[in-house]
Amino acid sequence: MTAPKTLKEKQDFLQRLVDNKDVILQEYLDNLGKRTIAIPGYDEASTPLQEWRAVALWWDYEPWPIYQKWFPKSTELVREGPTHRASGWLILRPNSQTPKHTHHDWGNKIIMHLPLVIPEGDVGFWIDGKVHRWKHGELFAFDIKKEHYGFNHTDKDRAIFVLDFDADEWGDALRPYMTLE
């Protein structure tokens, strides 16, 4: 597969993710209990946050072979397309929320979420004073320079498949999913 170049190819790439959401979810479920990474906090020491976890297929543009081995179908689905600053799963433990933050240091990016493990109850995403409520399998994207945080005020884990994209290259394809912009 080659990297999508036209708007149609990019739209097809995004639709392929949605069409394969059950495959992506099954790989996640098959690997429950395996090692995850604590996300660094936004304090001066970057203290790892035990309630906010990741499974990185790529991190800082580098592949993470152990996770790619555990998630081969997901890896192949997204190998071409995103910029891979951060690609993989973000897990938010029960009764927690991420710190309020931005990603100004990442450049001009759009982060796309594919929510696949969404417990019933008070779980969502806050961006600049607006709240998005997750819907299983429904793409959601946002400009990473906006202040944001995720919250999970339920008694179960929330898990979302996340990809980052260059905003200049992918903005037109992702704009329909940027519902809080």
- 63-94 residue pLDDT tens: 999 999 999 999 999 998 788 888 999 999 99
Torsion of CA 53, 57, 61, 64, to 10 degrees: 100
The CA distance from 175 to 181, in Å, is: 9
The SS3 of residue 110 is strand
Residue 41 pLDDT: 84
The CA distance from 88 to 27, in Å, is: 12
Residue 1 pLDDT: 61
Percent of the chain with pLDDT over 90: 73
pTM, 2 dp: 0.93
Chain-centroid distance, C-alpha 52: 12
Percent of the chain with pLDDT over 70: 99
Q: Tokens standing for 69?
A: 């081995």
If we measure between CA atoms, which residue out of 157, 147, 136, 137 comes closest to residue 180?
Answer: 147
Instruction: Kindly state whether residue 1 falls inside one of the protein's structural domains.
Output: no
| Domain span including residue 138 | 7-177
User: pLDDT-based confidence at 169, cuts 50/70/90?
Assistant: very high
Instruction: Kindly state whether residue 2 falls inside one of the protein's structural domains.
Output: no
CATH code for the domain in which residue 29 is found = 2.60.120.330
- Report whether pLDDT(102) > 90: no
Count the Cβ atoms, other than its own, within 10 Å of residue 73.
12
Instruction: Kindly state whether residue 28 falls inside one of the protein's structural domains.
Output: yes
The CA distance from 25 to 35, in Å, is: 17
Decide if 53 contacts 36 (C-beta within 8 A): yes
If we measure between CA atoms, which residue out of 130, 75, 86, 88 comes closest to residue 110?
Answer: 86
Residue 178 pLDDT: 95
Residue 181 pLDDT: 74
Segment 27-42 shows an average pLDDT of 90
- Report whether pLDDT(32) > 80: yes
Q: How many independent structural domains does the chain possess?
A: 1
Strands (E), 119-170: 122-127, 130-133, 140-143, 148-153, 158-166
User: pLDDT-based confidence at 43, cuts 50/70/90?
Assistant: confident
- Report whether pLDDT(167) > 90: yes
